[in-house]
Amino acid sequence: MGPVPKRVVTESRPRWELADIFRVHGPAYRRAHRLPLDQLKAMRAIEACRTAALGGHLDRCDSCGFEHPAYNSCRNRHCPKCPSLAQAQWLQRQQTELLPVGYFHMVFTLPHALNPIALTNMRPIIHMLFRAVAETLADFARTHLHGQLGFLAVLHTWDQTLGDHFHLHCLIPGGALSFDKNRWIRVRPRFLFHVRALSIVFRAKFLDHLGQAFQSGGLQFPGSTAPLADPAAFGQLCSSLRKKKWVVYAKRPFASPETVLDYLGRYTHRVAISNRRILNVDDQHVSFLYRDRKAPDRRKTMVLTTHEFIRRFLLHVLPRGLMRIRHYGFMANRYKAQNLARCRQLLTSVCTETPRSEPSACWNPERRRCPSCRTGLLLPIRTLPPELRDSS
């Protein structure tokens, strides 16, 4: 019997992907718009992700001889296809850090009137947002609980229609560690702090930091924001923001540590839009699904021009080195291990569990199953070098 011929099998994937949009319409968009380096790099990485441009390896089935090229991922944090590996590895680490208490979920949102400044000063504004939220929660823990909170904060900059919407999701264990670290201070199972009071303090702290940045020259006002460079105009904006109600939202506490991990998996490594939400792409338009919380039928379809879709997506490309996930209080990275161990001692529920000795969450045997015969395993037989591609 002769050698088994090579066969081509199309892997299951969404009909359209963000990478398809960038490959087809990206060159024209880049010619028409002057883009920052971070956005250019993100576009290039997403276009090349899991293609011959990044190289990879050739797999062969150990049963039927089917051969299949497996190309490397770009590992860009804005790529819809790449978060799963980092997410699985990160969740494995978090599994050992959960405390045997209830967890609260709070969301702190910047008013949309600040969006023009935030988009042109993303790095300082995001640092202010993290700082104001951390200081607010620390103040409430000190005055109401007489201890130190620990929490995780995750930055999102988008809404369902890819508009700019700067907010922090905070995951907070239900209790505080006393300042002398000799006592765990319990809280009510369904109440942590009053959200209206939190919003007032959060507003004051953020606007104080914003004013200091303006006075020190730490903000830029290009394009349509140029009038705000005038102290009188900037002061008027801040005055109007002090009169607005800022949104702080408290979601229902999580029922168990397992639901906490489920939440973390869905939120921490999310990108602005997933490939499965993209419905159709043509020469002029992109249509995608979004969720409208105000409508009875929440699932709706939005149609944008291709250039507007790309523009909106690129709004959410973060500057290099800016961290989206940060830990505070007794969960701050420097002393987290010691503090969490102390918390478990004080809770009289010393965690004796060790991480499960199951296969790593980031390796799924079904991913290596041969798509042709469904019985053999795909094994790498040789490396595929990167191929040159058009740099337009």
Shared domain for 101 and 71, answered yes or no, is: no
Q: Would you say residue 323 lies in a domain?
A: yes
In whole angstroms, what separates CA 268 from the centre of its chain? 5
Shared domain for 60 and 101, answered yes or no, is: no
Shared domain for 338 and 370, answered yes or no, is: no
Q: What is the pLDDT, as a whole number, of residue 11?
A: 46
Q: Would you say residue 9 lies in a domain?
A: no
**Percentage of the chain exceeding pLDDT 70:** 88
Q: Model confidence over 15-68: pLDDT tens digits? A: 889 999 999 999 999 999 999 999 999 999 999 998 888 888 888 988 888 888
Q: Would you say residue 206 lies in a domain?
A: yes
The set of residues, in sequence order, having a beta carbon less than 8 Å from that of 390 and lying 6+ positions away, is none
Q: Would you say residue 308 lies in a domain?
A: no
**In the structure encoding, which two tokens stand for residue 54, read together?**
């990044």
Region 355-376: mean pLDDT is 60
Shared domain for 330 and 190, answered yes or no, is: yes
Residue with the bigger pLDDT between 376 and 108: it is 108
**In the structure encoding, which two tokens stand for residue 163, read together?**
């508009």
Q: What is the C-alpha separation between 209 and 214, in angstroms, rounded? A: 9
Shared domain for 248 and 212, answered yes or no, is: yes
Shared domain for 73 and 218, answered yes or no, is: no
Burial class (CB in 10 A: 0-12, 13-18, 19+), 42: buried
Q: Would you say residue 375 lies in a domain?
A: yes
Shared domain for 170 and 239, answered yes or no, is: yes
Specify the DSSP element, H or E, that contains 109: strand 103-109
Q: Can you give the residue range of the structural domain that contains 62?
A: 18-79+365-384
Q: Would you say residue 184 lies in a domain?
A: yes
Shared domain for 328 and 380, answered yes or no, is: no
Q: How is residue 7 annotated by DSSP?
A: -
Q: What is the pLDDT, as a whole number, of residue 201?
A: 97
Q: Model confidence over 309-345: pLDDT tens digits? A: 999 999 999 999 999 999 999 999 889 999 999 999 9
Structural domain count, the chain: 2
Tell me the CA end-to-end span of the chain in Å, nearest whole number: 48
Residue 366 has pLDDT above 70, yes or no: no
Shared domain for 165 and 56, answered yes or no, is: no
Q: Would you say residue 262 lies in a domain?
A: yes
**Percentage of the chain exceeding pLDDT 90:** 59
The set of residues, in sequence order, having a beta carbon less than 8 Å from that of 45 and lying 6+ positions away, is 74, 75, 76, 78, 79
Helix axes 18-32, 306-314, angle to 10 degrees: 90
Residue with the bigger pLDDT between 264 and 211: it is 211
Residue 3 has pLDDT above 70, yes or no: no
Q: What is the C-alpha separation between 106 and 26, in angstroms, rounded? A: 37
Residue 197's SS3 state is: helix
Q: Would you say residue 162 lies in a domain?
A: yes
Specify the DSSP element, H or E, that contains 309: helix 306-314
Q: What is the pLDDT, as a whole number, of residue 359?
A: 38
Shared domain for 181 and 264, answered yes or no, is: yes
Shared domain for 143 and 247, answered yes or no, is: yes
Shared domain for 260 and 121, answered yes or no, is: yes
